[in-house]
Each structure stands twice: as structure tokens, then as C-alpha cells.
A and B are shown apart, each in its own frame.
Chain A
Amino acid sequence: SQQGEEDPQALSIQEGENATMNCSYKTSINNLQWYRQNSGRGLVHLILIRSNEREKHSGRLRVTLDTSKKSSSLLITASRAADTASYFCATVLWRNSGYSTLTFGKGTMLLVSP
């Protein structure tokens, strides 16, 4: 089934550094979304980028999408200890039924040390 695969599986950095996470997927998509999950909590939506967009910003977040390579990246600038969480990409694919579903990758665990 359609699924994003994040890379790396785990990332450890110092506060103030930038964190980059990558996502690859297999087939054409309608849009791609990034979510964050703090330990023991539900997922929180961060940003959505449509298939006709190449880059999007939201605060300290920058997302790029390369549909020719079927890949996306999430950049968190000037990271903080509070950014420690797991980050997931989710692909949205329209189905013949006229509906779409979110399919998640396995995530990148980010640890930001003070």
C-alpha cells in the first residue's frame, strides 16, 4: 500500500541546530502532510503541501516536495528541546471511490539536547 518512509529513523542534535528529516513515497499523491507525536500523545498536524507546490513555510518549519523524486523533506530551524518528538510524513492519495486516506510512514525520532 502507499506509504511514506522517513529517514533517518532517529536523529540527535543540540539545541540551536537545524534538523532535517526526509520522506520517500511510492506512487503519485494528492498532498503530503507532516505530523508530530510527543511520547504517549496523539499526532498533531504540522504542515500540508500539495502536489503542485514545491516549498512551504510555517514558522521554523520548512517543507519541500519533489514529485519527480517522490520525496519530501522537513527542516526545523533553530531547534529547541521542546521539539523532541517523533515526526511522521503522511501521503494522501485519491482513490477511485472519490475519497482519500492518510497513510503514514514509521517516523523519525528527534532528540534535541539542551
Chain B
Amino acid sequence: DAGVIQSPRHEVTEMGQEVTLRCKPISGHNSLFWYRQTMMRGLELLIYFNNNVPIDDSGMPEDRFSAKMPNASFSTLKIQPSEPRDSAVYFCASSTYRGNTEAFFGQGTRLTVV
């Protein structure tokens, strides 16, 4: 398996623009996580899906952020409109068994909002 695949690897966008980050989890994994990493706040859990259903989105910072998982092999994280403070590395991770086992991370998307 190729592991968790995220795209794009890097994204530079202007403030106010819409940004869409994409994730393909490992086949057979039924749990998917979106994390955001910054120097100040570390790794923050944004949202957690199980069997394509959002279980916990309490970490989504505000209404500008939305996430979907239309099927077991694809998820998106959208920011609209983007702001400079959204600049961070966004990671997608997947695992089995309701998130109680090891998580496999993608390489991340480095987002810069100017």
C-alpha cells in the first residue's frame, strides 16, 4: 500500500481565497483524522471520521473550516475564506478499529496564506 496520500504537498494562496486539501487514507482503514501543526500550538486534532461519518469536529476552529468524507477512500478539508493565521502544516492520518490502534500519517500539506 502507498500509505496515506495527501495533496497538494505545498499550497500558497492569497487571503480570502478558498483552499481545498485532499487525503486518500490507507485501504481498509475506517478511521480518518485531520490534524493541524504549528510551532505555537503543536498538533491539533481538527476532525475525526469513522466509517465516513464525522464523529468529533470540536477541533474545527471556526465556520470557515469544513471537512467531508464522501467515501472510504477520499476526504477533503476546505478553508473558505482563508486567512494568514491558517498558515500551518495540515496532516491527514488513518487507522483501524475506531482510532484505538496506531495511526498512519500522510506527508502533510504545508499551507501558506499571504
A→B interface (CB under 8 Å): 30-31, 33, 35, 41-45, 48, 88, 90, 92, 94-95, 97-107
Contact = CB atoms under 8 A, between A and B. Distances in A.
Given A100-B99, A102-B45, A106-B43, 20 more contacts: A41-B108, A42-B4, A42-B91, A42-B105, A42-B107, A43-B91, A45-B102, A45-B103, A88-B43, A92-B100, A99-B31, A99-B48, A99-B50, A99-B55, A101-B45, A102-B93, A104-B43, A104-B45, A105-B42, A107-B42
Contacts of A104: 35, 42-43, 45
A94 to B, nearest CB: 8
Contacts of A43: 43, 91, 93, 103, 105
A44 B99 contact: no
A33 B56 CA distance: 20
Nearest to B4: A42
Nearest to B42: A106
Interface of B: 4, 31, 33, 35, 42-43, 45, 48, 50, 55-56, 91, 93, 98-108
Contact of B98 (A41, A45, A100): A100
Contact of A48 (B56, B98, B102, B106): B102
B100 A42 contact: no
Main secondary structure of the interface of A (DSSP, over half): strand
B107 A102 contact: no
Contacts of B100: 30-31, 92, 94, 100
7 contacts: A41-B108, A45-B103, A94-B100, A101-B45, A104-B42, A105-B42, A106-B43
A101 B56 contact: yes
Nearest to B97: A100
Given A42-B105, A42-B106, A101 B48 contact: yes
B43 to A, nearest CB: 4
